[in-house]
Chains A and B, each alone.
Chain A
């Protein structure tokens, strides 16, 4: 068996995902009891020792972030669960919240307790209505058991309204505040000035779920899977030409080829059965050639050698019948549609890349595209514009992938 089930609950579990029985079964009640008996510093030290990094895509060390918010000056502090999952090919937070909503919520409560926040928000993608209902049930359970609620840590759900950009942390704050979700300039960082100008800790669903299982056990147990550099497991979302699409939990360090081919994971390339490329990390990710896939492990250093990152954990598989120019055109249209329009490089740059793609100029106007892409990476305000050209640039750097069908 290559698949691990730690973040995801045991398939044999008969308890309701949001029930008190599940809370006990997963050891989350003990995790809360344990964390509540610890000082802020001890909790943060435990998170730091585990080596958990942010699972939303940026892989920022979680313990460091918590420490910054804890030290930041301010009477009011907030914690936010970012469940605005909108990256293309990414559906892991949805599965996590459907199957085990208490995990991420327990992580959220521990985070609030550690940094001294009395108010927590769950910002969930608007289309995830059923997931939201599951989340609301889990909040009810925690409220009835006395862990959450007014006077304790008040947890409130906020729904997105269909904008990809609202998943960017500072745009998300603006959305919660009732404003247009335009990203803010950083610095100041959310750890100092986030929601309503107060220090704010914002984490991805999967990051918080990791915290919950860490406190249900300990750092040593946590490190039983994964590599020396990155302990633990990662949820990956397989889609495209793959025999068994879906969300899988795998240890860090697993060979990418095994994720694609193991019978209990991807089960092999579908379609023609011959791999053309893998898009890793979603629309804002990097294309890897079959050779690179064969040499890569699911770890930051291994993928960094190819200019790639795990990102959100999206793994999109394309067989050799796929015209990648067509894929890039789709991606370009996505970004042009989802740019908020605030800054010039992203607002107009995403539009021009889309137009060039539509006119079939991706392989001929490479110098223009490289300069445009570089300007977008360098000068856009937020991660959307900065990463919008990455998939395109990764193909320009890999001429071997450009052969048309």
Chain B
């Protein structure tokens, strides 16, 4: 005792270390809650509200991603109120954004029994794609405003602060400052925003081009593990290779050096490896 707390999750007692979030505690109890904006290496944004649970004595539902477990808490992960909130969150997002590349949102919609058309027919976030540089594109019709990119660009990883939320209400959106194109912004093209985006709203230019041409084929992609050769930090790279060409570079989210984050060279500086002019 002292370093652990015991709570009830769906009637079942669970003991977890002090400081554990309800989301993690629910995971341990095998009563996992769905999440959209939560990311293992980022500060909880509390924005999507898909992970809400009912805590006895609390007037409103509670975001399990950020609420810390307390001794004696009685938590319900599938009460009527929780199920309704989850379903409505999915329905509202589906009525607004293009979820075609958002597996977590599609899965939430499926498990919650959401009717994608219920709140449809009104304003959406449909807008032109922003293709203003050679490394990644912004297809904000797919954005669900999860704040992950803002946090990765900010003090959770990159500390560049090139992007933030601008506007308010339904007009809130991710912005590089005064609506600027990325080359005019403070962006350093580390691509960490792309790495954490859960909906394909931020996507590598190579992947975007191949998808647009109908040539992107997940079944043909293999991954090769290597270490970045640009400097001595030792970032692990996963090279995604399709038809003998590198089409994307990521780093594992659980890698102790990178936590999934890279710099512009590691993530996008791979063309030399497949250059026709290369001297072998």
Could you tell me which A residues sit within 8 Å of B by CB distance?
Answer: 163, 165, 180, 182, 185, 187, 336-345, 347-352, 355, 368, 371-372, 374-375, 377-381, 386
Task: State the CA gap A386–B81 with chains docked (Å).
Answer: 14
Q: Which residues of A contact B47 (CB under 8 A)?
A: 342-344, 381
Determine if B66 is an interface residue (Cβ-Cβ < 8 Å): yes
Q: Which residue of A lies closest to B45 (CB)?
A: A342
Asked whether B168 lies within 8 Å of A341 as measured between CB atoms, the reply is: yes
Not counting A344-B47, A378-B81, A380-B60, a sample of 13 additional A-B residue pairs whose C-beta atoms are within 8 angstroms of each other reads: A163-B168, A341-B171, A342-B46, A344-B49, A344-B144, A344-B145, A345-B92, A347-B169, A371-B84, A372-B88, A375-B84, A381-B46, A381-B63
Residue among B67, B88, B144 having the largest count of chain A Cβ atoms under 10 Å: B88
- Residues of B near A341 (CB, < 8 A) are 145, 165, 167-172
User: Could you say which of A349, A351, A378 contacts B52, with CB atoms under 8 Å apart?
Assistant: A378
Cβ B61 vs Cβ A348 within 8 A: no
**Docked complex Cα distance between A336 and B49 (Å):** 18
B94 to chain A, nearest CB (A): 10
A352 B95 Cβ-Cβ under 8 A:
yes
Name the distance in Å between B167's Cβ and chain A's nearest Cβ: 7
B7 at the binding interface (Cβ < 8 Å): no
- Annotate B55-67 by CB proximity to A: 1 below 8 A, 0 otherwise: 0000011010011
Identify the closest chain B residue to A377 (Cβ). Answer: B60
Q: Quick one: which of B60, B87, B119 contacts A348, CB cutoff 8 A?
A: B119
Contact flag A352-B92 (CB < 8 Å), given A180-B165, A378-B85, A381-B46? yes
CB <8 Å contact, B170 and A336 = yes
Q: How far is the CA of A378 from the CA of B83 in the complex (A)?
A: 11
Q: Is the CB of B165 within 8 A of A352?
A: no
A-B contact list, 5 entries, CB within 8 Å: A185-B44, A337-B168, A343-B46, A344-B49, A372-B88
Contact of A368 among B44, B67, B96, B118 (CB under 8 A): B118
Collect the chain B residues with CB atoms within 8 Å of residue A345's CB.
49, 85, 88-89, 92
Q: Report the nearest A residue to B121, measured CB to CB.
A: A355
> Does B164 lie at the interface of the complex (its beta carbon under 8 Å from any beta carbon of A)?
yes
B231 to chain A, nearest CB (A): 34
Q: A172 vs B277: C-alpha distance in the bound complex, in angstroms?
A: 58
Min CB distance, A249 to chain B, in Å?
30
Chain A contacts of B167 at CB under 8 A? 341
Contact B169 A337 (CB under 8 A): yes
Contacts of B66 in A (CB 8 A): 185
Let me know if B122 is at the binding interface, CB within 8 A: yes
In B239-278, the 8 Å CB interface with A consists of none
Give the CA-CA distance A340 to B169 in the complex, in Å.
5
Q: Which residues of B contact A374 (CB under 8 A)?
A: 81, 84-85, 88
A384 and B61 CA atoms in complex are apart in Å by 15
Q: Is the CB of A379 within 8 A of B95?
A: no
Q: How far is the CA of A326 from the CA of B117 in the complex (A)?
A: 26
Distance (whole angstroms) from the CB of B53 to the closest CB of chain A: 10
Known: A185-B66, A344-B48. A378 touches B61 (CB 8 A): yes
The 8 closest A-B pairs by CB, nearest first: A341-B172, A375-B88, A348-B92, A355-B122, A379-B85, A339-B169, A351-B170, A379-B49
Minimum C-beta distance from A122 to chain B (A): 24
> In the complex, A337→B81 CA distance in Å?
27
Query: Could you say which of A163, A165, A340, A342 has the most chain B C-beta atoms within 10 Å of its C-beta?
Result: A342
Interface centre among B44, B93, B168 (most CB of A within 10 A): B168
Least Cβ–Cβ distance between A276 and chain B, in angstroms: 29
Q: Is B123 an interface residue (CB 8 A)?
A: yes
Q: Does B46 contact A185, Cβ atoms closer than 8 Å?
A: yes
Cα(A266)–Cα(B121), bound, Å: 44
Contact call B95/A348, Cβ cutoff below 8 A: yes
- Cβ 8 A contact of A375, one of B85, B93, B172: B85
Cα–Cα distance between A340 and B121 once the two chains are bound (Å): 23
Q: How far is the CB of B45 from chain A (nearest CB, A)?
A: 8
- The answer to whether A336 and B89 have CB atoms under 8 Å apart is no
Decide if A380 touches B49 in the complex (CB within 8 Å).
Answer: yes
Report the minimum CB–CB distance from B81 to chain A (whole Å).
5
Say yes or no: A349 contacts B49, CB within 8 Å. no
Q: Is the CB of A343 within 8 A of B48?
A: yes
Contact A352–B122 (Cβ < 8 Å):
yes
For the complex, what is the distance from the CA of A374 to the CA of B52, rounded to whole Å? 13
Are A180 and B169 touching (Cβ within 8 A)? no
Residues of A within 8 A of B85 (CB): 345, 374-375, 378-379
User: In the assembled complex, which residues on chain A have CB atoms less than 8 Å from the CB atom of B121?
Assistant: 355
Binary contact track B207-227/A, C-beta < 8 Å → 1, others 0: 000000000000000000000
Choose among B84, B119, B170 the residue that contacts A347 (Cβ–Cβ < 8 A). Answer: B170
